[in-house]
Copies of this chain bind each other. A is one copy, B any other.
Amino acid sequence: MDDASALSPDPIRPGIGTSGTARNWPLNSWWVAAHGSEVSEKPIMRWIMELPIALYRTESQEAVALHNRCPHRWAPLHMGEVAGDRLICPYHGMEFEPSGQCMKVPTQDNTPSAIRIRAFPVEERYGFIWIWMGEASLADPDLIPADLAYLEDPAWYNVWGYKAVNANFMQIKENVLDLTHFSFLHKNSLGVTDWNRPPKVESANGRVTYSQFFENSPLAAIYAAAANKTPGKIVNRETWGTQLSPGAHHSAVNIYDPDPEPNGLSECFARVVHLTTPVSVGKTHYYWVMARDHGGPYDVEQTRAFIGKVFAEDVTMLEATQDMARRAADQDEALEFSVSADRAGVTGRRLVAAMTDAEKMQQE
């Protein structure tokens, strides 16, 4: 017998975000294209904002991002090879420089200068390759949030991961701007159940930050392991999170123990970084990093497994949420009802929407 709960209408919209089917992201911002360890002399391809992007490194290890479509017959350039600094088309051998300029057409002596592809500004920082999909002249590397410098600080441990998500990038950002879902969505995995009041929210300079202090709070197992303490011990917990840019967010959990064990830590700091890059309106590349300042031995595999489990709960929820919208006949009548705890999320959404709208208006 078939499963009646498995039969659903075909999706009507290709994806849904907070602003319908149109893009709800600005192009003029830095977005994570890949982790640095993923890019080498062997080119790879990534879809970013509905464009195919070829990524590779030159001989001097500089990362390069080119539009992954040969202007001759549209072959995906990443299937070709890199020779020196050039990317060679796998189909007819045309050679492209990091600038996107074609330097050689093997079957003829002259190379028309009009044969060129778009090159995208890239910067490698904090372990990641950041890409600028908009107007190249605006691509100021200083716009990459310097707040993430601890990712390159040897005094911090970190572990990164990636998840392909069938949901709009803004859904992921709003999810991490309202952690009151801990008590429900993650009640069996995180074990943090005291996040039952909205945090303080502040917004300035295109950023939004929530913060909350939990005094005399029992230490959840997840934080106890990081701090090398006994789960359930009464400590103070400081939390905050900041939407740094449309593509970057990080959050903090700082444990303060007024009564540390002999040789125990009185402070323990952790950060979670969420780097979300749109593939299309309904799909997102989701890179994350879990970082900790110091303390006992840091079990990379265990951390990755644990974060993987918790984030899978988020992703399952976000994908189901989008599915409720994509397939439903009444999707256009579906208004969201926001409550107090949504202040940070709604502010974050408006900040990104304002950037996006301003950019779109300028293009018209």
If A9-B279, A10-B280, A50-B328 touch, whether A181 touches B91 (CB-CB below 8 Å) is yes
- Report how far A12 CA is from B283 CA in the complex, Å: 14
Residue ID in chain B nearest A2 by CB atoms:
B164
A300 sits at the interface (CB 8 A): no
If A1-B162, A92-B341, A93-B183 touch, whether A196 touches B106 (CB-CB below 8 Å) is yes
The reply to whether B34 and A4 form a contact with Cβ atoms under 8 Å apart is: yes
Which of A145-153, A234-242, A252-260, A318-326 binds B? A318-326
A105 contacts which of B9, B45, B181, B339 (Cβ < 8 Å)? Answer: B339
- Chain B contacts of A317 at CB under 8 A? 75, 79, 90-91
Interface residues as binary, A196-230 with B (CB distance below 8 Å gives 1, 0 otherwise): 11100000000000000000000000000000000
The reply to whether B73 and A8 form a contact with Cβ atoms under 8 Å apart is: no
- Report how far A317 CA is from B79 CA in the complex, Å: 9
A327 sits at the interface (CB 8 A): yes
- Chain B contacts of A294 at CB under 8 A? none
Which of A56-64, A119-127, A262-270, A329-337 binds B? A329-337
A7 sits at the interface (CB 8 A): yes
The reply to whether A4 and B320 form a contact with Cβ atoms under 8 Å apart is: no
The reply to whether B279 and A8 form a contact with Cβ atoms under 8 Å apart is: yes
- Chain B contacts of A335 at CB under 8 A? 71
- Chain B contacts of A6 at CB under 8 A? 164
A114 sits at the interface (CB 8 A): yes
If A14-B12, A47-B8, A107-B197 touch, whether A76 touches B285 (CB-CB below 8 Å) is no
The reply to whether A285 and B340 form a contact with Cβ atoms under 8 Å apart is: no
A115 sits at the interface (CB 8 A): yes
Q: Determine how close the nearest CB of chain B comes to the CB of A42; give it in whole angstroms.
A: 12
Please report whether the interface of chain A is mostly helix, strand, loop or mixed according to DSSP.
Answer: loop
Q: What number of A residues sit within 8 Å (CB to CB) of B? A: 85
A68 sits at the interface (CB 8 A): yes
- Report how far A218 CA is from B192 CA in the complex, Å: 72
- Given A4-B38, A52-B324, 6 further pairs, Cβ under 8 A: A9-B283, A69-B334, A75-B324, A79-B317, A89-B184, A90-B317
Which A residues form the contact surface with B (CB < 8 A)? 1-10, 12, 14-15, 34, 38, 44-47, 49-52, 68-69, 71-76, 79-80, 88-93, 105-108, 112, 114-115, 161-164, 174, 178, 180-181, 183-185, 196-198, 279-280, 282-283, 285, 317, 320-325, 327-330, 334-342
